[in-house]
A and B are shown apart, each in its own frame.
Chain A
Amino acid sequence: MSALFDLFSFAAIGAGVFFFFAGTVGLIRFPDSLTRLHALSKADNLGLGLIVLGLLPRADSALAAFKLVLIWALVLASGASTAQLIGRALRRGQK
């Protein structure tokens, strides 16, 4: 059973790392700040979500697991709102 959990953690964290990698590639390769924002907000949120998912079976307690999910939600909300604010500032700056 624990081997199965380990395999799950390994797969989920590995997938999370892949999305962080892809987001970083987008950050470097995309042509302007607006498209780079897409790369960061989407790929990194998914990457963090998968890493949190992979860490859940390894959490010491239900409280620790809940804390992990809470951290993901906070990062998600703050990342998504900041991306919109930066996007709006960029759009107004373009005109």
Chain B
Amino acid sequence: MIPPAPFDTKAAAARLAFFFALWLTIAGWTAKDVPVGLAAAAGAVWISLKFLPPGDARFRPVQLIALAARFLSASLIAGFDVARRALAKRPDLDPGFVSCPIGLPSGAARDAFLLLQSLQPGTLPTGVEGGSALVHALDVSQPVAAAFAAEEGHFRKAFGHE
């Protein structure tokens, strides 16, 4: 068991403002709905503090934008890749698991990295066991592990996890 962290009022207030703004964006600005929105935002803050405790992640805007651009172009390639394999005369597949060493420690940063990685062409992480991510690949003849390691490097740069 992880001991419960002391309640961080500043982080909670910032998150409440963020979730309430999100709720207003989606649901609209009607006065009678505001209590519902506040209750929903409070619930979201409770869950987010439980699963994503305030950390000391440092953001590097330039690298973050570069990461976002890489991510968008990768998801474009991923979509084309899977469409080509699906529409080929015979589905073009050589599926299997590839064990990819991962350096990021267990936590929110690693989860975020695996989330981005699951949208890369032809790869789907299926959990981490013994310091290696078990990545399911559509085509194991591709350099899956090398691409995974390179992406982890870019991710660490963007979030200062070096």
Chain A residues packing against B (C-beta within 8 Å):
18-19, 22-23, 25-26, 29-32, 34-35, 37-39, 41-43, 45-47, 49, 63, 66-67, 70-71, 76-77, 80-81, 83-84, 87-88, 90-91
Given A19-B79, A22-B87, A34-B95, A41:B124 Cβ within 8 A: yes
CB–CB A42/B86 < 8 A: no
Pick the 5 closest A-B CB pairs, nearest first: A46-B79, A26-B86, A22-B83, A87-B126, A88-B127
CB–CB A91/B136 < 8 A: yes
What DSSP secondary structure best describes chain A's contact surface? helix
Shortest Cβ distance from B62 into chain A, in angstroms? 21
Shortest Cβ distance from B156 into chain A, in angstroms? 20
Q: Does B63 contact A (CB under 8 A)?
A: no
- A43 vs B26: C-alpha distance when bound (angstroms): 25
Chain A residues near B118: list those with CB within 8 A: 41, 80-81, 83-84
Shortest Cβ distance from B52 into chain A, in angstroms? 13
- A18 vs B125: C-alpha distance when bound (angstroms): 26
Chain B residues packing against A (C-beta within 8 Å):
22, 25-26, 75-76, 78-79, 81-83, 85-87, 91, 93, 95, 97, 114-115, 118-119, 121-122, 124-127, 134, 136, 138
- A90 vs B82: C-alpha distance when bound (angstroms): 20
Q: Looking at the complex, which one of B75, B81, B82, B124 makes contact with A87 (CB distance below 8 Å)?
A: B124
Chain A residues near B114: list those with CB within 8 A: 84
Interface centre among B75, B87, B118, B138 (most CB of A within 10 A): B118
Chain B residues near A45: list those with CB within 8 A: 75, 79, 119
Q: Looking at the complex, which one of A43, A66, A87 makes contact with B79 (CB distance below 8 Å)?
A: A43
Given A41-B119, A80-B118, A80-B119, A23:B124 Cβ within 8 A: no
CB–CB A30/B83 < 8 A: no
CB–CB A23/B75 < 8 A: no
Nearest residue (CB) in A for B81 is: A42
Given A67-B26, A81-B115, A91-B136, A38:B126 Cβ within 8 A: no
